[in-house]
Amino acid sequence: MSGELKSFVSVSEMARMVGLSRQRFHQLMTEGVFPPPLYDIQTRRPFYTEELQAVILKVRQQNFGINGRPVLFYARRPVTVGKAQTRSSGSASSKTTPKHGHLLDGLKGLGIAGVSEAQVETALSALYPNGRPEDQGEVLRTVFIHLMRRDTGEKVGRKE
């Protein structure tokens, strides 16, 4: 699937990888859509191996659970240009749609509140110098991870 699979990941990290909340991920796991995690015998902590990560990513991509049933993953609604959105920043809404509006909305939904258009543009240039892939979910995931991992002195506003 992806070259970014780790040897082991936590349940929370697996949920982030497929773009779901921990609660929704757990619900789908309980319903048999996703496989349950393995548990470390000594620490009793749940984790997903690289093989299980690949299975879960395939379920997410194909919308077909390991329980043999189809599953729908809801996408974010597109931003409507005609309606003004109220923001706590107090700034007047712009008549132009941001170039990366869908990514900004997705990043804000993932908890990065103060990310700017310029920061997204910089991340995209660094991550995809030869052009972006078609899968917008993968782009959102990669940009999110990039912004969370940067260790420059620059702050990205997070909801607290």
Interval 69-121: pLDDT, tens: 998 887 655 545 544 444 444 444 444 556 777 777 777 777 777 778 888 88
Count Cβ neighbours within 10 Å for each residue of 89-111 and write b for 16 or more, e otherwise.
Answer: eeeeeeeeeeebebbbbbbeebe
Average pLDDT of the chain, as a whole number = 78
Task: Report the 10 Å Cβ neighbour count for 132.
Answer: 14
